[in-house]
């Protein structure tokens, strides 16, 4: 199996993802991303290769980020260690420092025992598949390592968080004065950033999930457990709730009565606002195949084109860059606002959603009414061979369901990019029909693709 998945390298820390692998991966990255005309030009000008690294607060991030820093420095790369910081902050800081690349140690929404390594190129952009393949190919090759004064230095990036906060505040179209916000930081990387920037923007902030101890990241809190946020919003009489995941690259929200608002609804709100203000490039939104049919309908009614990509925010970003689009994202809450970020940024997204409430003088429920959410059922089928999703019998049942649904629904069948399972997603005009069709397809998948 390839080392890189949908979003970097991920696995059980000290199991499949070891310090040795992290060090080797860092050295291979230094070779591949330290090449090219821009790197050669920097060296010709007497400038050293530089990288920014960061991590989320899970306990294994301490030794894995140390291994990454060691591997880079041993390869002649000067390292700026930003410590615990959101993934989108790292992406911003790569561009802000004009670094050659960056490495984030995080497993995002996964539980604490897991960890991952995400690599960003110059400018803070995620790597295309071909570059990841090149890095992987260098893992087992002999490397000529520098000695003496040519080895890299490791420095603390002391003002990293301040730079990011100022950037976020400068992006806002309106202040958040008086709006009561509950933030769920998932005991993750947002705990030290999100509450501060929301308060600086004028919001009245209550915080949950902001006591990371290295072991509790995503544990019963954050965007994967949004019920906790809903309870807190209602209990505190807040106007809105914002939930992050462990590395704060995604954002989900809840209304004043605790109703969840997902990434599709957030994108619909932002797309309509940006179109109104002349900021939605080419009147186009980029979304993945998992986005709800209701998003497509709502955008079509407003003359907004929806471009569709494979699952993964880097594929969304690739399409955005190729077409020059300014907004894209995923139902899961990865939202990319390319005027201000090179990747999904949960803190930025949350700020702009609340700013839109302030700008229009409307509640989040009123804003979210822009789209009708079609009933959507997702069944994760485990214990099957995900490489055989093209099985003809499986595809026949999918075609049969699609024919029955017609224009009132759709089917998506795909192998997970990060887990050993097949996902069956069905949308229909009513929940019962969606569940019935999803279960029928899942049954066939279990039977035909059993290991």
Domain ranges for the chain: 9-158, 163-368, 376-448
**Cβ atoms of residues 87 and 190 within 8 Å:** no
Where is the binding site for Mg(2+), in residues?
A: 108, 245, 247, 249
Superfamily, domain 376-448: Alpha-D-phosphohexomutase, C-terminal domain (3.30.310.50)
Q: How far apart are CA 58 and CA 214, in angstroms?
A: 4
Terminal-to-terminal C-alpha distance of the chain: 17
The matching CATH number, chosen from 2.40.30.30, 3.30.9.10, 3.40.120.10, 1.10.10.10, for 163-368 is 3.40.120.10
Side-chain-facing half-sphere of 245: CA atoms under 13 Å: 22
What does pLDDT average to in each consecutive run of 10 residues of the chain (451 residues)?
86 97 97 75 78 98 98 97 98 97 96 97 92 94 91 97 98 97 98 97 98 97 96 98 96 98 98 97 96 94 96 88 97 96 96 98 98 93 91 94 89 83 92 94 94 82
Q: Given 60, 75, 106, 108, which residue is catalytic? A: 108
Hey, is 79 helix, strand or coil?
strand
pLDDT of residue 53: 98
pLDDT of residue 311: 83
Q: How far apart are CA 369 and CA 380, in angstroms?
A: 29
Residue with tokens 């003002």, as numbered in its chain? 159
Where is the binding site, in residues?
A: 108, 245, 247, 249
Task: Tell me the DSSP string of 181-192.
Answer: EEEE-TTTGGGG
Beta partners for residue 327, in sequence order:
337
**For the whole model, what pTM was predicted?**
0.89
Q: Which two tokens stand for residue 31?
A: 């070779």
**Cβ atoms of residues 358 and 176 within 8 Å:** yes
Superfamily, domain 9-158: Alpha-D-Glucose-1,6-Bisphosphate, subunit A, domain 3 (3.40.120.10)
3-state helix, strand, coil in the chain (%, to 5): 40, 20, 35
> For 286, which DSSP code?
E
Q: How far apart are CA 135 and CA 222, in angstroms?
A: 32
pLDDT of residue 418: 67
Q: Do domains 9-158 and 163-368 have the same CATH topology?
A: yes
137 assigned to active site = no
Which burial class, exposed, middle or buried, applies to 64 when counting CB atoms under 10 A from its CB (0-12, 13-18, 19+)?
Answer: buried
Q: How far apart are CA 396 and CA 74, in angstroms?
A: 54
Residue whose C-alpha is closest to residue 118's, from 380, 322, 344, 320: 344
């Amino acid at each position: 199996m390839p080392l890189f998945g949908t979003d970097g390298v991920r696995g059980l820390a000290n199991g499949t993802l070891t310090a040795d692998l992290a060090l080797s991966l860092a050295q291979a990255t230094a070779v591949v991303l330290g090449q090219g005309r821009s790197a050669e030009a920097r060296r010709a000008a007497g400038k050293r290769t530089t990288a920014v690294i960061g991590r989320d607060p899970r306990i294994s991030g301490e030794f894995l980020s140390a291994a990454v820093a060691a591997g880079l420095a041993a390869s002649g790369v000067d390292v700026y260690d930003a410590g615990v910081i959101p993934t989108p902050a790292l992406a911003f800081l790569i561009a802000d420092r004009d670094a050659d690349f960056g490495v984030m140690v995080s497993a995002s929404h996964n539980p604490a025992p897991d960890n991952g390594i995400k690599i960003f190129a110059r400018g803070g952009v995620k790597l295309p598949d071909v570059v990841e393949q090149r890095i992987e190919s260098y893992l087992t090759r002999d490397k000529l390592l520098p000695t003496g004064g040519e080895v890299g230095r490791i420095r603390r990036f002391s003002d990293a968080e301040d730079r990011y906060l100022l950037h976020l505040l400068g992006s806002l179209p309106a202040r958040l004065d008086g709006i009561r916000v509950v933030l769920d930081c998932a005991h993750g990387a947002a705990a030290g950033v999100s509450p501060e920037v929301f308060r600086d923007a004028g919001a009245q902030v209550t915080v949950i999930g902001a006591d990371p101890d290295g072991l509790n990241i995503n544990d019963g809190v954050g965007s994967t457990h949004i019920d906790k946020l809903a309870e807190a919003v209602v209990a505190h009489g807040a106007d809105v709730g914002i939930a992050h995941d462990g590395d704060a690259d995604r954002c989900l929200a809840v209304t004043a009565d605790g109703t969840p608002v997902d990434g599709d609804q957030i994108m619909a709100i932002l797309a309509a606002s940006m179109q109104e203000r002349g900021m939605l490039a080419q009147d186009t939104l980029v979304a993945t195949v998992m986005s709800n049919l209701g998003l497509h309908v709502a955008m079509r009614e407003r003359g907004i084109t929806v471009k569709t990509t494979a699952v993964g925010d880097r594929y969304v970003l690739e399409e955005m860059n190729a077409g020059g689009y300014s907004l894209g994202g995923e139902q899961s809450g990865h939202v990319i606002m390319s005027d201000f970020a090179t990747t999904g940024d949960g803190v930025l997204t949350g700020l702009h959603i609340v700013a839109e409430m302030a700008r229009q003088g409307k509640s989040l429920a009123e804003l979210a009414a822009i789209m009708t959410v079609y009933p959507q059922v997702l069944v994760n089928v485990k214990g099957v061979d995900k490489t055989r999703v093209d099985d003809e019998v499986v595809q026949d049942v999918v075609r049969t369901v699609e024919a029955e649904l017609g224009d009132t629904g759709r089917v998506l069948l795909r192998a997970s990019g990060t887990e050993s399972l097949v996902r069956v997603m069905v949308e229909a005009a009513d929940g019962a029909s969606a569940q019935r069709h999803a279960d029928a397809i899942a049954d066939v998948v279990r039977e035909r693709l059993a290991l």
